[in-house]
Structure 1
Amino acid sequence: MTQYGSNYRGSASVPPGGGSGGGAGVAQAAAGGPTRRGLIGSGIGLVASIAAAGGGFAVWSTANSTNEDLDRAFDLDAIPEEDRPERTNQALNLLVIGSDHREGNDESDARSDTTILMHVNEDGNAAYGISIPRDLYVYIPEDPDAEVSDTFDKFNAAYAWGGVNLTVRTIENLTGVRIDHIIEIDFNGLVAVVDALGGVTLDVQAADADGYITDPPGVESIHGEHTFFEAGPNQMDGEQALDYVRQRYQYNEGDFARMRHQQDLIKAIMDSALSAGVLTNEDKLTSFISSTSDAVKVDTNFNAVSTAINLMDMRSDDLVFMTTPHLGTGEQGGQSVVVYAEDPENPEGSNPEAVSLWEAVRDDKVADWIEANPKDEEE
């Protein structure tokens, strides 16, 4: 049976009204819109929107300065227009990428550890985060600037071979959805963001895979100092949160459990920003803005401040999470993968739920798709 995986009800604040290239308000405001790693895409937008709403001149100035200083590493205009889907409405589609590059490692070896397509509806009152499994077996389209392309492989190979632009090409080819903006965050950046908020609370899922079950219930990290996280609510700093959401071998669901925990972290980050006094304390807020800006890379047209003004009405409960519909795990192309379609060259015939989801995103009717495809909590 096709699985959606993950919760439909999640959280993380994203944009009302759109963003440049997508939402009308931002398109009129300046040059761009928002986005970020499978874990805080809208962080800059949220704090900037609060600053705009009355955080004081110092905070507003910091937000503007932050916008000017963002690392604009990605040029989506470099992708030929004829190779891209048309934009059919004023909804906003953001690609949130988390690179697995860590300090001291060769950046050329990095892959997209986390990828979430964030769709904000045209009315600006709902947002949907669709996780794309890194092992999803898909077509990686031709790109003259990529090391390898025009082949089938695991989705995250696109990032390794051709960076963000080949990743965008791959997603747009797979979905037919036009990507408006990119935000990428690396692991070190995520730690700084969480620490700037004073930490987050995550509800730890106990390990359930053979050989990893513990007493008391919890999960022991396979990384670093092998930290043990007891099942249930845990207050975590940035290093701890990052460590926990990277675990996957300890769970029967593997990477799908990991994706769900990353979605939980998005919720926790946004809830922490809203509840810990960060948004009402000028010193904390300016620190958060600065640390967030240092943590991310964006596309050349992204504008944090103008986009943020369109984000300020949305809160964590306005974001619904899901995972790309797939056919489970299996073998294709001589490797273990997440199977997107029985026939990779003709997914329409063997994965109608995914095809209909991407159509719903393109038509800005995701709420209707969810109603028509209720998630079986027993899956």
Structure 2
Amino acid sequence: MTAGATTQPRWVRFCVFLGVVLLVLSGLVIIGVSVLEERYQGRVVTADLFGDTGDFAPLAASTPGGVRVRSSESAPDVDLDGPLDLLLVGIDPRPNEAPRPPLADAIMVLHVDAAHEHAYLFSMPRDLIVDIPAFAKAGYRGGTGKINGAMAYGSRVAATGELDTAQGFQLLARTVVDRTGIPRFEAGAILDFSGFEAVVDALGGVDMYVDERTLSIHRAPNGTLRPGWGPQKTYEVGEQHMSGWEALDFVRQRKSLAEGDYARQRHQKQFLKAVLTQATGSGLLTDPLRLDRVLRAAGESLTFSGRGHDLLDYVVALRHLRPDDLTMVQLPGAAVGRGAGYRGEHLLPVADEFFAAVAADRVGEYLSEHPELVS
């Protein structure tokens, strides 16, 4: 199955992953670790997202999004007692263009400090111009291009020509490591849109502040898909209560915003924190049936690699984190070229200083000196 096997956009997968982690963390004291393990652990698809197996084992199954699932993942153990860096990726498959290699439409890094008391989330612009390393598994010789193309270049299996989204993640992870200097990712995730609306709707919707008037290029006011003309769903400035489809539509928008993809990155992170706040403050944790629906939908949306640890190990390791412990970071950048000459984006020098702080686990200290980076 190819990476474009479903009709739904998927870049928002990052929301579901962090949502399920913190929901489960908060729910541990209510429904117990053993119940979580029995009921939800088996629903999370695992795959070799970092090339740790060194080969391509027979496929056990395929997810609805076409992620090729290995029958096992033998990876070196990572240390969960120190700082952790997780790579979260969402893709936007277009089935009408199949077979089309997957493009990473959202690339986020979650850094957790050594004490596991604070977490920091930042995005890599999808059009960031980077050096993409050679990748023998895909027969890719390396080159310079937009970072979201790394997953596409890496996804083609050289021996067969088939598309493998998990293999594409491997090249993207190497590219992000090279660009940021972060030595290693302890875990990674590809997350599926299919459970996104169900998660938000199970929460009873989400409340968030819309910081600029936003016109949808995808939806009419009643939520139906627009053919490219006619009335547009409009998100007015101020506090808004959004259903699942509205929240998804809002955080997809970039073409109608002055800052384009940088504004969309900001809205993604604002929305994520709103979801986590809603999850821990809406009575969800004392409503076992609703909690069960949310966790099941989220778990089924997740493809995960813990590099020797399963998701529950990370749940236990991060059990003290809460939404207020999560800081959103916005890295400044600028366009390379204008108009017809646009070639992509580059980050300003402060981003490289921030990456060095991540690698050294000094993010809190660095942000105290650069509060303008806090979104």
Distance 1:89 1:336, change over 3 A: farther
Structure 1 residue corresponding to 2:153, chosen from 153, 161, 165: 161
1:281 aligns with 2:281: no
**CA positional deviation for 1:338:** 0.8
Structure 2 CA distance, aligned partners of 1:252 and 1:277? 37
- 1:126 maps to which residue? 118
**CA positional deviation for 1:106:** 3.5
Provide TM-score, normalisation by structure 1: 0.75
Contact 2:87 2:107 in 1 (8 A): yes
**CA positional deviation for 1:366:** 0.8
Q: Deviations over 1:201-232 (max 9, x none)?
A: 122233xxxxxxxxxxx322100243222221
- 1:204 maps to which residue? 210
- 1:68 maps to which residue? 42
Structure 2 residue corresponding to 1:264, chosen from 267, 270, 277: 270
- 2:9 maps to which residue? none
Distance 1:364 1:252, change over 3 A: same
Contact 2:80 2:314 in 1 (8 A): no
**CA positional deviation for 1:77:** 4.1
Higher RCO (Cα < 8 Å, 6 or more apart): 1
Structure 2 CA distance, aligned partners of 1:196 and 1:105? 32
Distance 1:313 1:372, change over 3 A: same
Structure 2 residue corresponding to 1:362, chosen from 344, 356, 359: 359
Structure 2 CA distance, aligned partners of 1:221 and 1:286? 32
- 2:20 maps to which residue? 44
Structure 1 CA distance, aligned partners of 2:354 and 2:81? 16
1:173 aligns with 2:147: no
Distance 1:219 1:43, change over 3 A: closer
- 1:222 maps to which residue? 217
Letter in 2 for 1:94: L
Q: Deviations over 1:143-190 (max 9, x none)?
A: 112364511101100122222111101001111211111111233332
- 1:10 maps to which residue? none
**CA positional deviation for 1:118:** 0.5
Structure 1 CA distance, aligned partners of 2:177 and 2:351? 14
Contact 1:92 1:119 in 2 (8 A): yes
Distance 1:375 1:300, change over 3 A: closer
Q: Deviations over 1:35-79 (max 9, x none)?
A: x943243222223223421325xx852443321231113342438
Structure 1 CA distance, aligned partners of 2:19 and 2:373? 31
- 1:353 maps to which residue? 350
Distance 1:273 1:87, change over 3 A: closer
Structure 2 residue corresponding to 1:305, chosen from 312, 336, 361: 312
Q: Where does the alignment leave 5 or more consecutive residues of structure 1 unmatched?
A: 1-35, 81-85, 207-217, 341-350
Contact 1:40 1:269 in 2 (8 A): no
Contact 2:129 2:146 in 1 (8 A): yes
Structure 2 CA distance, aligned partners of 1:113 and 1:166? 15
Distance 1:138 1:128, change over 3 A: same
- 2:103 maps to which residue? 111
Percent of aligned pairs with the same amino acid: 30
Structure 2 residue corresponding to 1:140, chosen from 121, 132, 141: 132
Structure 1 CA distance, aligned partners of 2:48 and 2:239? 37
Provide TM-score, normalisation by structure 2: 0.76
Q: Deviations over 1:85-104 (max 9, x none)?
A: x9998200001112112677
Distance 1:361 1:300, change over 3 A: closer
Aligned length: 314
**CA positional deviation for 1:304:** 2.4
Structure 2 residue corresponding to 1:336, chosen from 303, 323, 343: 343
- 1:375 maps to which residue? 372
SS in 2 for 1:46: helix
Letter in 2 for 1:68: G
Contact 1:138 1:154 in 2 (8 A): yes
What is the RMSD computed on CA atoms of the aligned residues?
Answer: 2.9
Contact 2:44 2:301 in 1 (8 A): no
Structure 2 CA distance, aligned partners of 1:286 and 1:306? 20
Letter in 2 for 1:318: D
**CA positional deviation for 1:297:** 1.0
**CA positional deviation for 1:303:** 2.0
SS in 2 for 1:41: helix
Structure 2 CA distance, aligned partners of 1:94 and 1:107? 29
